[in-house]
Amino acid sequence: MAAELFFQTIAELGALLDSRKLSSAELTRAVIARTKAVDGRVHAFNSFDEAGALASAAASDARRAAGQARGPLDGIPVGLKDVIAAAGQPLTASSKILANYVSPYDATVTARLKGAGAVVWGRLNCDEFAMGSSTENSAFGPASNPWDLARVPGGSSGGSAAAVAGGELIAALGSDTGGSIRQPAALCGVVGLKPTYGLVSRYGLVAFASSLDQIGPLARTVEDAALVLGAIAGHDPLDSTSFQADIPDYHAGLKQKKGPWRIGIPKEYFGTGLDPAVGAAVEAAIAFYRSQGCEIKEVSLPHTQYCLDTYYIIATAEASSNLARFDGIRYGHRASGAKDVVDLYFQSRAEGFGPEVKRRIILGTYVLSSGYYDAYYLRAQKVRTLIRQDFLSAYREVDALLTPTSPTPAFKLGEKFDPLALYLCDIYTIGVNLAGLPALSLPCGFTPAGLPIGLQLIGQPFRESELLAMAHTYEQAHDWHRRHPAL
Protein backbone atom coordinates (compact mmCIF):
# COMPACT_ATOMS: atom_id res chain seq x y z
CA MET A 1 0.00 0.00 0.00
CA ALA A 2 2.74 2.48 0.93
CA ALA A 3 4.12 2.57 -2.60
CA GLU A 4 0.81 3.93 -3.90
CA LEU A 5 -0.13 6.26 -1.05
CA PHE A 6 0.85 9.29 -3.08
CA PHE A 7 -1.70 8.47 -5.79
CA GLN A 8 -4.66 8.09 -3.45
CA THR A 9 -7.24 10.80 -2.93
CA ILE A 10 -7.85 13.02 0.09
CA ALA A 11 -11.05 11.10 0.79
CA GLU A 12 -9.34 7.70 0.59
CA LEU A 13 -6.40 8.78 2.72
CA GLY A 14 -8.75 10.39 5.21
CA ALA A 15 -10.47 7.04 5.76
CA LEU A 16 -7.09 5.39 6.40
CA LEU A 17 -6.08 8.12 8.83
CA ASP A 18 -9.41 7.93 10.66
CA SER A 19 -9.13 4.16 11.06
CA ARG A 20 -5.52 4.47 12.33
CA LYS A 21 -4.33 2.20 9.49
CA LEU A 22 -2.10 5.06 8.42
CA SER A 23 -0.39 7.94 10.19
CA SER A 24 0.16 11.37 8.75
CA ALA A 25 3.89 10.90 9.34
CA GLU A 26 3.88 7.75 7.16
CA LEU A 27 1.92 9.50 4.44
CA THR A 28 4.14 12.58 4.51
CA ARG A 29 7.30 10.47 4.35
CA ALA A 30 5.87 8.60 1.34
CA VAL A 31 5.14 11.89 -0.44
CA ILE A 32 8.59 13.27 0.40
CA ALA A 33 10.26 10.09 -0.89
CA ARG A 34 8.20 10.25 -4.08
CA THR A 35 9.16 13.89 -4.61
CA LYS A 36 12.85 13.17 -4.12
CA ALA A 37 12.59 10.31 -6.60
CA VAL A 38 10.91 12.19 -9.44
CA ASP A 39 11.18 15.97 -9.04
CA GLY A 40 14.65 16.11 -10.51
CA ARG A 41 12.92 15.30 -13.81
CA VAL A 42 9.61 17.13 -13.28
CA HIS A 43 10.86 20.27 -11.49
CA ALA A 44 7.43 20.95 -10.02
CA PHE A 45 8.96 22.49 -6.87
CA ASN A 46 11.01 25.61 -6.31
CA SER A 47 11.72 24.76 -2.67
CA PHE A 48 10.84 22.24 0.04
CA ASP A 49 10.15 22.35 3.76
CA GLU A 50 10.79 18.76 4.81
CA ALA A 51 11.34 19.53 8.49
CA GLY A 52 8.23 21.69 8.68
CA ALA A 53 6.14 19.08 6.88
CA LEU A 54 7.23 16.29 9.21
CA ALA A 55 6.57 18.48 12.24
CA SER A 56 3.07 19.27 10.97
CA ALA A 57 2.44 15.58 10.32
CA ALA A 58 3.57 14.68 13.84
CA ALA A 59 1.26 17.34 15.27
CA SER A 60 -1.62 15.90 13.26
CA ASP A 61 -0.95 12.41 14.61
CA ALA A 62 -0.69 13.79 18.14
CA ARG A 63 -4.11 15.42 17.83
CA ARG A 64 -5.68 12.09 16.89
CA ALA A 65 -3.82 10.27 19.64
CA ALA A 66 -5.31 12.79 22.08
CA GLY A 67 -8.78 11.96 20.82
CA GLN A 68 -9.43 15.07 18.74
CA ALA A 69 -11.74 14.66 15.75
CA ARG A 70 -9.96 14.83 12.40
CA GLY A 71 -11.07 17.33 9.75
CA PRO A 72 -10.98 16.29 6.08
CA LEU A 73 -7.60 17.93 5.38
CA ASP A 74 -5.93 17.11 8.70
CA GLY A 75 -2.65 15.30 8.03
CA ILE A 76 -2.84 15.64 4.21
CA PRO A 77 0.30 16.94 2.38
CA VAL A 78 -0.43 19.92 0.15
CA GLY A 79 1.65 22.50 -1.71
CA LEU A 80 1.44 26.18 -2.60
CA LYS A 81 2.14 27.87 -5.90
CA ASP A 82 5.12 30.13 -5.33
CA VAL A 83 2.99 33.29 -5.46
CA ILE A 84 1.10 32.45 -2.23
CA ALA A 85 2.71 33.58 1.02
CA ALA A 86 3.70 31.19 3.81
CA ALA A 87 5.44 32.59 6.87
CA GLY A 88 9.17 31.84 6.98
CA GLN A 89 9.15 30.35 3.47
CA PRO A 90 10.57 31.70 0.20
CA LEU A 91 8.12 33.71 -1.89
CA THR A 92 9.81 34.09 -5.25
CA ALA A 93 6.98 34.18 -7.83
CA SER A 94 9.59 32.22 -9.87
CA SER A 95 11.41 35.50 -10.49
CA LYS A 96 15.00 36.59 -9.97
CA ILE A 97 13.76 39.86 -8.52
CA LEU A 98 12.37 37.94 -5.50
CA ALA A 99 14.94 35.14 -5.45
CA ASN A 100 16.00 35.85 -1.85
CA TYR A 101 12.69 37.05 -0.44
CA VAL A 102 11.18 35.20 2.54
CA SER A 103 7.57 35.90 3.47
CA PRO A 104 7.04 37.27 6.99
CA TYR A 105 3.37 36.18 7.10
CA ASP A 106 0.84 33.63 5.89
CA ALA A 107 -1.63 34.31 3.12
CA THR A 108 -5.20 33.85 4.32
CA VAL A 109 -5.53 30.62 2.32
CA THR A 110 -2.29 29.33 3.85
CA ALA A 111 -3.52 30.12 7.36
CA ARG A 112 -6.80 28.36 6.61
CA LEU A 113 -5.05 25.25 5.30
CA LYS A 114 -2.83 25.15 8.38
CA GLY A 115 -5.87 25.70 10.57
CA ALA A 116 -7.48 22.69 8.90
CA GLY A 117 -4.42 20.60 9.81
CA ALA A 118 -3.01 20.28 6.28
CA VAL A 119 0.71 19.53 5.95
CA VAL A 120 2.21 22.31 3.79
CA TRP A 121 5.09 20.58 2.07
CA GLY A 122 6.65 22.94 -0.46
CA ARG A 123 6.66 25.85 -2.92
CA LEU A 124 5.58 25.08 -6.48
CA ASN A 125 7.12 26.26 -9.74
CA CYS A 126 5.18 28.60 -12.01
CA ASP A 127 5.58 31.10 -14.80
CA GLU A 128 7.26 34.25 -13.49
CA PHE A 129 4.68 36.34 -11.64
CA ALA A 130 2.08 33.91 -13.02
CA MET A 131 2.54 35.31 -16.52
CA GLY A 132 2.48 32.43 -18.97
CA SER A 133 0.77 29.29 -20.18
CA SER A 134 3.57 26.73 -20.03
CA THR A 135 5.73 27.30 -16.90
CA GLU A 136 8.62 27.91 -19.28
CA ASN A 137 8.91 31.52 -18.07
CA SER A 138 10.13 30.49 -14.61
CA ALA A 139 13.46 32.07 -13.69
CA PHE A 140 14.41 28.77 -12.03
CA GLY A 141 13.84 26.58 -15.08
CA PRO A 142 10.74 25.09 -16.69
CA ALA A 143 8.59 22.34 -15.22
CA SER A 144 7.79 19.22 -17.24
CA ASN A 145 4.59 17.30 -17.77
CA PRO A 146 4.65 13.98 -15.85
CA TRP A 147 2.85 12.25 -18.74
CA ASP A 148 5.65 13.23 -21.15
CA LEU A 149 8.71 14.95 -19.73
CA ALA A 150 9.46 16.54 -23.11
CA ARG A 151 6.20 18.48 -22.91
CA VAL A 152 4.95 21.43 -20.86
CA PRO A 153 2.62 21.00 -17.88
CA GLY A 154 0.72 24.15 -18.85
CA GLY A 155 0.78 27.34 -16.86
CA SER A 156 1.05 29.43 -15.02
CA SER A 157 0.28 26.95 -12.21
CA GLY A 158 2.21 24.22 -14.02
CA GLY A 159 4.17 23.14 -10.96
CA SER A 160 0.97 22.70 -8.96
CA ALA A 161 -0.66 20.56 -11.66
CA ALA A 162 2.49 18.53 -12.34
CA ALA A 163 3.06 17.84 -8.63
CA VAL A 164 -0.47 16.49 -8.15
CA ALA A 165 -0.37 14.48 -11.38
CA GLY A 166 3.04 13.02 -10.54
CA GLY A 167 2.18 11.99 -6.98
CA GLU A 168 4.41 14.60 -5.35
CA LEU A 169 1.42 16.06 -3.51
CA ILE A 170 -2.12 15.03 -2.67
CA ALA A 171 -3.48 18.50 -3.56
CA ALA A 172 -2.18 21.98 -4.27
CA LEU A 173 -3.21 25.60 -4.56
CA GLY A 174 -2.72 27.64 -7.70
CA SER A 175 -3.84 31.02 -8.94
CA ASP A 176 -5.93 31.70 -12.04
CA THR A 177 -5.81 35.05 -13.84
CA GLY A 178 -6.76 33.86 -17.32
CA GLY A 179 -6.82 30.08 -17.04
CA SER A 180 -3.73 29.40 -14.96
CA ILE A 181 -5.39 26.72 -12.81
CA ARG A 182 -7.67 25.14 -15.41
CA GLN A 183 -5.31 24.93 -18.39
CA PRO A 184 -2.47 23.12 -16.55
CA ALA A 185 -5.06 20.89 -14.87
CA ALA A 186 -6.27 19.88 -18.33
CA LEU A 187 -2.77 19.28 -19.68
CA CYS A 188 -1.75 17.21 -16.64
CA GLY A 189 -4.96 15.21 -16.23
CA VAL A 190 -6.09 16.55 -12.85
CA VAL A 191 -9.01 18.63 -11.56
CA GLY A 192 -8.60 22.39 -11.34
CA LEU A 193 -11.16 24.84 -9.98
CA LYS A 194 -11.21 28.60 -10.47
CA PRO A 195 -13.75 29.95 -7.94
CA THR A 196 -16.01 32.96 -8.39
CA TYR A 197 -14.06 36.19 -8.01
CA GLY A 198 -14.27 37.19 -4.36
CA LEU A 199 -15.10 33.75 -2.95
CA VAL A 200 -11.50 33.01 -1.88
CA SER A 201 -9.29 35.65 -0.26
CA ARG A 202 -6.41 37.07 -2.29
CA TYR A 203 -4.63 38.42 0.80
CA GLY A 204 -1.06 37.13 0.60
CA LEU A 205 -1.18 36.43 -3.14
CA VAL A 206 1.51 38.18 -5.19
CA ALA A 207 -0.64 40.38 -7.41
CA PHE A 208 -0.56 40.07 -11.19
CA ALA A 209 -3.93 41.53 -12.29
CA SER A 210 -5.98 42.30 -9.21
CA SER A 211 -9.43 42.32 -10.84
CA LEU A 212 -8.78 38.91 -12.45
CA ASP A 213 -6.63 36.89 -10.01
CA GLN A 214 -8.26 34.14 -7.99
CA ILE A 215 -6.78 31.32 -5.86
CA GLY A 216 -8.18 27.82 -6.23
CA PRO A 217 -7.42 24.11 -5.75
CA LEU A 218 -5.81 21.50 -8.00
CA ALA A 219 -6.58 17.95 -6.93
CA ARG A 220 -6.92 14.39 -8.12
CA THR A 221 -10.73 14.32 -8.04
CA VAL A 222 -13.72 16.64 -7.93
CA GLU A 223 -14.42 15.42 -4.39
CA ASP A 224 -10.92 16.45 -3.30
CA ALA A 225 -11.32 19.86 -4.94
CA ALA A 226 -14.57 20.33 -3.02
CA LEU A 227 -12.83 19.49 0.26
CA VAL A 228 -10.02 21.98 -0.37
CA LEU A 229 -12.42 24.70 -1.52
CA GLY A 230 -14.44 24.24 1.66
CA ALA A 231 -11.31 24.93 3.71
CA ILE A 232 -10.19 28.10 1.90
CA ALA A 233 -13.44 29.80 0.84
CA GLY A 234 -15.10 32.55 2.83
CA HIS A 235 -15.03 36.25 3.58
CA ASP A 236 -11.76 37.85 4.67
CA PRO A 237 -11.69 41.41 6.05
CA LEU A 238 -8.06 41.66 4.93
CA ASP A 239 -9.17 41.49 1.27
CA SER A 240 -11.35 44.42 0.16
CA THR A 241 -12.65 42.40 -2.80
CA SER A 242 -13.67 39.44 -0.64
CA PHE A 243 -17.40 38.73 -0.87
CA GLN A 244 -19.57 38.20 2.20
CA ALA A 245 -21.58 35.05 1.48
CA ASP A 246 -22.62 31.93 3.32
CA ILE A 247 -20.29 29.05 2.43
CA PRO A 248 -22.16 25.79 1.83
CA ASP A 249 -20.79 22.33 2.50
CA TYR A 250 -19.34 21.70 -0.94
CA HIS A 251 -18.48 18.10 -0.14
CA ALA A 252 -21.96 17.24 1.11
CA GLY A 253 -23.39 18.91 -1.98
CA LEU A 254 -21.77 16.30 -4.22
CA LYS A 255 -24.06 13.63 -2.84
CA GLN A 256 -27.25 15.59 -3.35
CA LYS A 257 -28.91 14.87 -6.68
CA LYS A 258 -29.12 18.17 -8.53
CA GLY A 259 -29.49 17.05 -12.13
CA PRO A 260 -30.49 16.76 -14.79
CA TRP A 261 -29.10 20.13 -15.83
CA ARG A 262 -29.58 22.44 -18.75
CA ILE A 263 -26.13 22.63 -20.33
CA GLY A 264 -25.14 25.26 -22.88
CA ILE A 265 -22.60 24.61 -25.63
CA PRO A 266 -21.08 27.94 -26.79
CA LYS A 267 -20.73 27.68 -30.55
CA GLU A 268 -17.76 30.09 -30.50
CA TYR A 269 -15.68 27.54 -28.56
CA PHE A 270 -15.78 24.79 -31.19
CA GLY A 271 -14.18 26.41 -34.22
CA THR A 272 -10.81 26.71 -35.90
CA GLY A 273 -7.79 25.68 -33.83
CA LEU A 274 -9.47 22.95 -31.79
CA ASP A 275 -7.41 19.75 -31.87
CA PRO A 276 -9.50 16.87 -33.32
CA ALA A 277 -8.74 14.55 -30.38
CA VAL A 278 -9.75 17.23 -27.90
CA GLY A 279 -12.91 17.96 -29.83
CA ALA A 280 -13.86 14.27 -29.96
CA ALA A 281 -13.34 13.80 -26.21
CA VAL A 282 -15.45 16.84 -25.38
CA GLU A 283 -18.20 15.71 -27.78
CA ALA A 284 -18.20 12.35 -25.99
CA ALA A 285 -18.66 14.18 -22.67
CA ILE A 286 -21.59 16.12 -24.14
CA ALA A 287 -23.13 12.81 -25.25
CA PHE A 288 -22.71 11.48 -21.70
CA TYR A 289 -24.62 14.38 -20.18
CA ARG A 290 -27.31 13.98 -22.79
CA SER A 291 -27.60 10.30 -21.85
CA GLN A 292 -28.18 11.39 -18.24
CA GLY A 293 -31.25 13.35 -19.24
CA CYS A 294 -29.58 16.75 -19.42
CA GLU A 295 -30.92 19.27 -21.89
CA ILE A 296 -28.11 20.20 -24.27
CA LYS A 297 -28.55 23.55 -25.99
CA GLU A 298 -26.30 25.53 -28.30
CA VAL A 299 -25.79 29.09 -27.08
CA SER A 300 -23.85 32.07 -28.32
CA LEU A 301 -21.33 34.27 -26.54
CA PRO A 302 -20.98 36.83 -29.35
CA HIS A 303 -18.19 38.90 -27.82
CA THR A 304 -15.87 35.89 -27.42
CA GLN A 305 -13.81 37.12 -30.35
CA TYR A 306 -12.78 40.15 -28.28
CA CYS A 307 -11.79 38.23 -25.14
CA LEU A 308 -8.11 37.83 -25.95
CA ASP A 309 -7.58 41.50 -26.86
CA THR A 310 -9.59 42.70 -23.87
CA TYR A 311 -7.75 40.43 -21.47
CA TYR A 312 -4.27 41.46 -22.62
CA ILE A 313 -5.12 45.13 -22.23
CA ILE A 314 -6.66 44.88 -18.77
CA ALA A 315 -4.27 42.26 -17.39
CA THR A 316 -1.13 44.03 -18.56
CA ALA A 317 -2.38 47.42 -17.36
CA GLU A 318 -2.95 46.01 -13.87
CA ALA A 319 0.38 44.17 -13.99
CA SER A 320 2.17 47.40 -14.86
CA SER A 321 0.70 49.05 -11.77
CA ASN A 322 1.15 46.08 -9.44
CA LEU A 323 4.76 45.39 -10.40
CA ALA A 324 5.85 49.02 -9.98
CA ARG A 325 6.59 48.17 -6.33
CA PHE A 326 9.54 45.99 -7.37
CA ASP A 327 11.97 48.87 -7.67
CA GLY A 328 15.18 47.68 -6.00
CA ILE A 329 14.59 50.01 -3.06
CA ARG A 330 11.82 48.68 -0.86
CA TYR A 331 12.44 44.94 -1.33
CA GLY A 332 13.51 42.46 -3.95
CA HIS A 333 16.66 42.40 -6.07
CA ARG A 334 18.84 45.48 -5.90
CA ALA A 335 21.36 46.12 -8.64
CA SER A 336 24.92 47.04 -7.67
CA GLY A 337 26.92 49.93 -9.12
CA ALA A 338 23.96 52.22 -9.88
CA LYS A 339 24.87 55.90 -10.31
CA ASP A 340 21.70 57.30 -8.76
CA VAL A 341 18.23 56.27 -7.64
CA VAL A 342 16.79 56.35 -11.17
CA ASP A 343 19.63 54.20 -12.47
CA LEU A 344 19.10 51.82 -9.53
CA TYR A 345 15.43 51.53 -10.45
CA PHE A 346 16.13 50.75 -14.10
CA GLN A 347 19.01 48.36 -13.47
CA SER A 348 17.23 46.41 -10.74
CA ARG A 349 14.15 45.85 -12.88
CA ALA A 350 16.19 45.06 -16.00
CA GLU A 351 18.18 42.41 -14.11
CA GLY A 352 15.32 41.05 -12.04
CA PHE A 353 12.45 40.65 -14.51
CA GLY A 354 12.35 38.10 -17.32
CA PRO A 355 11.37 38.81 -20.96
CA GLU A 356 7.66 37.97 -20.66
CA VAL A 357 7.18 40.09 -17.54
CA LYS A 358 8.98 43.01 -19.21
CA ARG A 359 6.81 42.57 -22.31
CA ARG A 360 3.62 42.79 -20.27
CA ILE A 361 4.81 45.73 -18.16
CA ILE A 362 5.69 47.67 -21.33
CA LEU A 363 2.33 46.90 -22.95
CA GLY A 364 0.44 47.74 -19.77
CA THR A 365 2.27 51.02 -19.28
CA TYR A 366 1.50 51.96 -22.87
CA VAL A 367 -2.26 51.34 -22.64
CA LEU A 368 -2.41 53.40 -19.44
CA SER A 369 -0.36 56.28 -20.80
CA SER A 370 -1.71 59.73 -21.52
CA GLY A 371 -3.49 59.84 -24.86
CA TYR A 372 -4.04 56.08 -24.99
CA TYR A 373 -5.97 55.35 -21.78
CA ASP A 374 -9.39 56.03 -23.33
CA ALA A 375 -8.56 54.30 -26.60
CA TYR A 376 -7.38 51.09 -24.97
CA TYR A 377 -7.93 50.56 -21.25
CA LEU A 378 -11.28 52.34 -20.91
CA ARG A 379 -12.61 50.71 -24.07
CA ALA A 380 -11.42 47.29 -22.89
CA GLN A 381 -13.33 47.73 -19.63
CA LYS A 382 -16.49 48.50 -21.60
CA VAL A 383 -16.02 45.37 -23.72
CA ARG A 384 -15.41 43.39 -20.53
CA THR A 385 -18.91 44.40 -19.41
CA LEU A 386 -20.33 43.11 -22.70
CA ILE A 387 -18.47 39.80 -22.26
CA ARG A 388 -19.95 39.37 -18.78
CA GLN A 389 -23.40 40.20 -20.11
CA ASP A 390 -23.00 37.45 -22.74
CA PHE A 391 -22.51 34.87 -20.00
CA LEU A 392 -25.35 36.18 -17.85
CA SER A 393 -27.69 36.20 -20.84
CA ALA A 394 -26.81 32.58 -21.57
CA TYR A 395 -27.58 31.65 -17.96
CA ARG A 396 -31.17 32.74 -18.48
CA GLU A 397 -31.49 29.65 -20.69
CA VAL A 398 -29.03 27.16 -19.18
CA ASP A 399 -27.55 26.21 -15.80
CA ALA A 400 -23.92 25.94 -16.92
CA LEU A 401 -21.71 25.94 -19.99
CA LEU A 402 -19.55 23.10 -21.30
CA THR A 403 -16.43 23.71 -23.40
CA PRO A 404 -12.93 22.35 -23.99
CA THR A 405 -10.44 23.68 -21.43
CA SER A 406 -7.50 23.97 -23.83
CA PRO A 407 -7.62 23.86 -27.64
CA THR A 408 -4.73 21.37 -27.71
CA PRO A 409 -3.10 18.78 -25.46
CA ALA A 410 0.32 19.49 -23.93
CA PHE A 411 2.84 20.76 -26.47
CA LYS A 412 6.58 20.21 -26.45
CA LEU A 413 8.92 22.33 -24.38
CA GLY A 414 10.30 25.12 -26.56
CA GLU A 415 7.73 24.52 -29.28
CA LYS A 416 5.89 27.84 -29.01
CA PHE A 417 8.35 30.71 -29.39
CA ASP A 418 5.79 33.28 -30.54
CA PRO A 419 4.14 34.96 -27.53
CA LEU A 420 0.82 35.17 -29.40
CA ALA A 421 0.83 31.40 -29.93
CA LEU A 422 1.15 30.97 -26.16
CA TYR A 423 -1.56 33.53 -25.48
CA LEU A 424 -3.96 31.54 -27.68
CA CYS A 425 -3.57 28.56 -25.31
CA ASP A 426 -5.98 30.37 -22.96
CA ILE A 427 -8.58 31.25 -25.57
CA TYR A 428 -11.28 29.14 -23.84
CA THR A 429 -10.48 30.21 -20.29
CA ILE A 430 -9.91 33.98 -20.22
CA GLY A 431 -13.57 34.94 -20.67
CA VAL A 432 -14.34 33.34 -17.31
CA ASN A 433 -11.89 35.64 -15.52
CA LEU A 434 -13.14 38.73 -17.32
CA ALA A 435 -16.68 37.84 -16.20
CA GLY A 436 -15.67 36.82 -12.66
CA LEU A 437 -17.31 33.38 -12.95
CA PRO A 438 -16.47 29.97 -11.45
CA ALA A 439 -15.15 27.28 -13.78
CA LEU A 440 -13.71 23.81 -13.39
CA SER A 441 -11.53 21.58 -15.57
CA LEU A 442 -11.63 17.82 -15.18
CA PRO A 443 -10.11 14.96 -17.22
CA CYS A 444 -12.31 13.67 -20.05
CA GLY A 445 -9.97 11.45 -22.04
CA PHE A 446 -6.56 10.96 -23.59
CA THR A 447 -5.12 11.54 -27.05
CA PRO A 448 -3.84 8.56 -29.10
CA ALA A 449 -0.36 9.58 -27.85
CA GLY A 450 -1.49 9.20 -24.23
CA LEU A 451 -1.79 12.89 -23.32
CA PRO A 452 -4.62 14.07 -21.03
CA ILE A 453 -7.58 16.08 -22.30
CA GLY A 454 -9.60 18.45 -20.13
CA LEU A 455 -13.29 19.35 -20.11
CA GLN A 456 -14.34 22.79 -18.81
CA LEU A 457 -17.60 23.46 -17.00
CA ILE A 458 -18.45 27.14 -16.43
CA GLY A 459 -20.93 27.91 -13.68
CA GLN A 460 -22.99 30.82 -12.44
CA PRO A 461 -21.59 33.24 -9.83
CA PHE A 462 -21.21 31.67 -6.36
CA ARG A 463 -22.87 28.43 -7.48
CA GLU A 464 -19.78 26.28 -7.02
CA SER A 465 -21.87 23.56 -5.36
CA GLU A 466 -23.85 22.96 -8.52
CA LEU A 467 -20.72 23.14 -10.67
CA LEU A 468 -18.94 20.56 -8.51
CA ALA A 469 -21.98 18.25 -8.48
CA MET A 470 -22.18 18.40 -12.27
CA ALA A 471 -18.48 17.55 -12.61
CA HIS A 472 -18.76 14.80 -9.99
CA THR A 473 -21.57 13.15 -11.96
CA TYR A 474 -19.29 12.85 -14.99
CA GLU A 475 -16.27 11.77 -12.96
CA GLN A 476 -18.14 8.99 -11.16
CA ALA A 477 -19.04 7.40 -14.49
CA HIS A 478 -15.47 7.47 -15.87
CA ASP A 479 -12.04 6.37 -14.71
CA TRP A 480 -9.78 9.02 -16.25
CA HIS A 481 -8.76 10.22 -12.78
CA ARG A 482 -7.57 6.70 -11.89
CA ARG A 483 -4.86 6.75 -14.54
CA HIS A 484 -1.41 7.91 -13.49
CA PRO A 485 1.80 8.72 -15.37
CA ALA A 486 4.60 6.15 -15.29
CA LEU A 487 7.48 8.31 -14.09
Q: Alpha helices of 207-262 — where are they, by DSSP H?
A: 222-232, 250-254
Q: Could you give phi then psi for residue 353, rounded to 5 degrees?
A: -90, 145
DSSP three-state, residue 192: strand
Cβ-count burial of 345 within 10 angstroms (0-12 exposed, 13-18 middle, 19+ buried)? Answer: middle
Which helix (H) or strand (E) element contains residue 31?
helix 24-42
Share of the chain residues as helix, strand and coil, in percent rounded to the nearest 5 = 45, 15, 40
Choice among 56, 180, 201, 242 that is catalytic: 180
* pLDDT at residue 16, as a whole number: 96
CA atoms within 13 A on the CB side of 250: 27
Q: Could you give phi then psi for residue 19, rounded to 5 degrees?
A: -85, 0
Each residue's pLDDT tens digit in the chain (487 positions)? 444 899 999 999 999 999 999 999 999 999 999 999 999 999 999 999 999 999 999 999 999 999 999 999 999 999 999 999 999 999 999 999 999 999 999 999 999 999 999 999 999 999 999 999 999 999 999 999 999 999 999 999 999 999 999 999 999 999 999 999 999 999 999 999 999 999 999 999 999 999 999 999 999 999 999 999 999 999 999 999 999 988 999 999 998 877 899 999 999 999 889 999 999 999 999 999 999 999 999 999 999 999 999 999 999 999 999 999 999 888 789 999 899 999 999 999 999 999 999 999 999 999 999 889 999 999 999 999 999 999 999 999 999 999 999 999 999 999 998 888 889 999 999 999 999 999 999 999 999 999 999 999 999 999 999 999 999 999 999 999 999 999 8
415: Cβ contacts below 8 Å, ≥ 6 apart: none
463: Cβ contacts below 8 Å, ≥ 6 apart: 438
Alpha-carbon gap, residue 184 to 192, rounded angstroms: 8
Q: Is 180 a catalytic residue?
A: yes
* pLDDT at residue 245, as a whole number: 87
269: Cβ contacts below 8 Å, ≥ 6 apart: 301, 304, 403, 404, 428
- Looking at the DSSP assignment, which residues form a beta bridge with residue 193? 440
Choice among 24, 60, 81, 157 that is catalytic: 81
The reported pTM is: 0.97
Taking alpha carbons only, the member of 181, 205, 30 closest to residue 119 is 30
- Ordered structural domains, the chain, with CATH: 2-264+397-482 (3.90.1300.10)
- Looking at the DSSP assignment, which residues form a beta bridge with residue 457? 402, 440
Are the beta carbons of 363 and 356 closer than 8 angstroms?
Answer: no
- How many angstroms separate the first and last alpha carbons of the chain? 18
117: Cβ contacts below 8 Å, ≥ 6 apart: 56, 59, 60, 63, 70, 71, 73, 74, 75, 76
Choice among 133, 156, 157, 348 that is catalytic: 156
| Alpha-carbon Rg for the chain in angstroms | 21
Provide the 10 A C-beta neighbour count for residue 85.
22
Helix axes 464-476, 276-291, angle to 10 degrees: 100
DSSP three-state, residue 179: coil
Are the beta carbons of 222 and 472 closer than 8 angstroms?
Answer: yes
Q: Is 95 a catalytic residue?
A: no
Taking alpha carbons only, the member of 72, 251, 240 closest to residue 170 is 72
Q: Is 416 a catalytic residue?
A: no
387: Cβ contacts below 8 Å, ≥ 6 apart: 301, 303, 304, 306, 307, 310, 431, 434, 435
* pLDDT at residue 331, as a whole number: 78
Instruction: Categorise residue 248: left if φ over 0, alpha if ψ from -120 to 50, beta otherwise.
Output: beta
